[in-house]
Structure 1
Amino acid sequence: MSKLGTPLLVKVEAVHPGEASITGSVDVQPMVHQQDKQGKPYPRQVIHNVPYLRIQGGTSALIIDPKLGDIGFIIISGRDHTHAVTSRQPSPPASFRQFAMQDCVYVGGFLNNGPDQFIQATAQGWRIVTPGIVSIEATKITANCDIETSGDVKAGGISLKQHTHGGVQAGGGKTSPPS
């Protein structure tokens, strides 16, 4: 049993992000040292080019690439998975290697500090928090609800708060479009 490659706690030492269409890899440092019979610790070597997890189904994904210093686990394969990782197809093992740390994947998000941006499911609905900008790229957005903001709303470059109407006359007349 001691020869089996069990999951191992690791820290991200480098991130090699892929494009949106391809998952990247990380270099990870195992956080639990080996030790000899006298209890003397021996740090493990950094494991390079470890594929990491993305939450994905078909062509839809939640892309949150790991960051330097993140803590997670590696899951070690029973056989050399080099050909399967490279080709992304079912493949024979690349060698007779078994339960080796080189044949692992990274699953992150354990023991990290609290995030400053997140999407959270609550009993009241979804909560999105970010110190930056939320950018939505879509052909159309449809909302079946009231929309409230403490800021301004602009459409076609025209401010809802700051626009003016020309041609206003007392009585039953109508205003001209905003300018």
Structure 2
Amino acid sequence: MALNRKGLNSDDNILADRMDDRIKQIDTSTICKVISVNTENKTVSVLPMVQMNDLNNNPVDHALVNDIPYIRLQAGSYGIICDPVVGDIGLVVFCSRDISNVIKNKKVTTTGSKRTHSISDGIYVASLLLEEPKIYLKIIDETIEIKGNVTVNGNITATGDIVAGKVSLQNHIHSNGNNGGNTGKPSG
């Protein structure tokens, strides 16, 4: 905050200084590096990547922030599992109140403390600043593209044709399958 013309020790400047100090204590979000992942508890330990400054303006590393939950794209019992991995860089947001009791009880509950806007109440939202993935699911307009091997534990139902290479599931024929001639299209 800018100093006003009344002098360094004016009430306005003292108040502005105190407000500025308090604002600097509020954590909102930051970019972090994933140091460890616990997929059972769905938590990560992260290291904030933007250093702090000491009173002499020297850079100071943050301490490791442990056991913060990470987000999965999920609704009810349906979801996409793409857990963070060690080395990912991602965005962590910090809740306005202590969320430890909500994490522990998974229901509406009181705050665990009077803590507000604390780095201890972080949630790892998403990875960013990464190289292009080698395995992916991409949705563009009306097309879903999958790159990588696919394992299906369940049935596949298609209303349209399925083509593997250049062979159509609905329109392929077998040579030498009908007393020496080609078969007709599959029926069924």
Q: Say yes or no: TM over 0.5.
A: yes
Q: Aligned equivalents of 1:141 and 1:38: distance in 2?
A: 64
Q: 1:169 to 1:73 in 2, by over 3 A?
A: closer
Q: Aligned equivalents of 1:146 and 1:47: distance in 2?
A: 50
Q: CA RMSD in A?
A: 2.7
Identity %: 26
Aligned pair partner of 1:76 in 68, 86, 94: 94
Aligned pair partner of 1:61 in 62, 79, 83: 79
* 1:150 counterpart residue number: 165
Deviation at 1:3, TM superposition (A): 2.2
* 1:119 counterpart residue number: 137
Q: Aligned equivalents of 1:76 and 1:124: distance in 2?
A: 35
Aligned pair partner of 1:8 in 30, 33, 52: 30
Structure 1 consecutive aligned stretches of length 4 or more whose deviation exceeds 4 Å: 168-171
Deviation at 1:2, TM superposition (A): 1.8
Counting only pairs closer than 5 Å after superposition, residues 1-179 of structure 1 correspond to structure 2 as 1-18=23-40, 24-123=42-141, 125-130=143-148, 133-138=149-154, 140-150=155-165
Q: Aligned equivalents of 1:24 and 1:42: distance in 2?
A: 29
Q: 1:151 to 1:134 in 2, by over 3 A?
A: farther
- Structure showing greater radius of gyration is 2
Q: Aligned equivalents of 1:80 and 1:44: distance in 2?
A: 20
Structure 2 residue ranges without an equivalent (≥5): 1-22, 184-188
Q: Aligned equivalents of 2:164 and 2:142: distance in 1?
A: 18
* 1:157 counterpart residue number: none
| Residue range with higher mean Cα deviation, 143-152 or 74-83 | 143-152
Q: Aligned equivalents of 1:34 and 1:52: distance in 2?
A: 24
Q: Aligned equivalents of 1:151 and 1:109: distance in 2?
A: 37
Counterpart amino acid of 1:142? T
Is the Cα–Cα contact under 8 Å of residues 70 and 108 in structure 1 kept in the other structure?
A: no
Is the Cα–Cα contact under 8 Å of residues 75 and 104 in structure 1 kept in the other structure?
A: yes
Is the Cα–Cα contact under 8 Å of residues 80 and 103 in structure 1 kept in the other structure?
A: yes
Structure 1 SS opposite 2:98: coil
Deviation at 1:170, TM superposition (A): 6.5
Q: 1:100 to 1:42 in 2, by over 3 A?
A: same
Counterpart amino acid of 1:148? V
Q: Aligned equivalents of 1:128 and 1:89: distance in 2?
A: 36
Structure 1 residue ranges without an equivalent (≥5): 154-159, 175-179
